[in-house]
Amino acid sequence: MTQAPNLQRIVLPVAGMDCGGCVRSVDKAVRALPGVADVQVSLEPAQVIAQIDSARVTREALVSAIEDAGFDVPAPQP
């Protein structure tokens, strides 16, 4: 399979997920965004890995969707 040149891999830590229901909530919120090609949500480590079309969706939109679902995305450490 050939990836479109504008697909970008985004990895975001997610705080507050502790069960399968949390994983499903985050997965559903992120998948609902236009431009998200693929999503993997895990508890260990608690994170989201998304393949996005950077022309259609931004990292900030992913963060907002996760936060709107009731979870926190910690700021990256310097």
Average pLDDT over residues 2-15: 82
| Predicted pLDDT at 2 | 55
Can you tell me which residue has the tokens 């040149």? 5
pTM, two decimal places: 0.88
What topology is assigned to 7-68 in CATH? Alpha-Beta Plaits (3.30.70)
What angle do the packed helices 20-31 and 59-68 form, to 10 degrees?
A: 140
* Domains of the chain by residue range: 7-68
| Helix residue ranges per DSSP H, the chain | 20-31, 59-68
Asked if residue 45 has a cis previous peptide bond (ω within 30° of 0), the answer is: yes
pLDDT mean across residues, the chain: 92
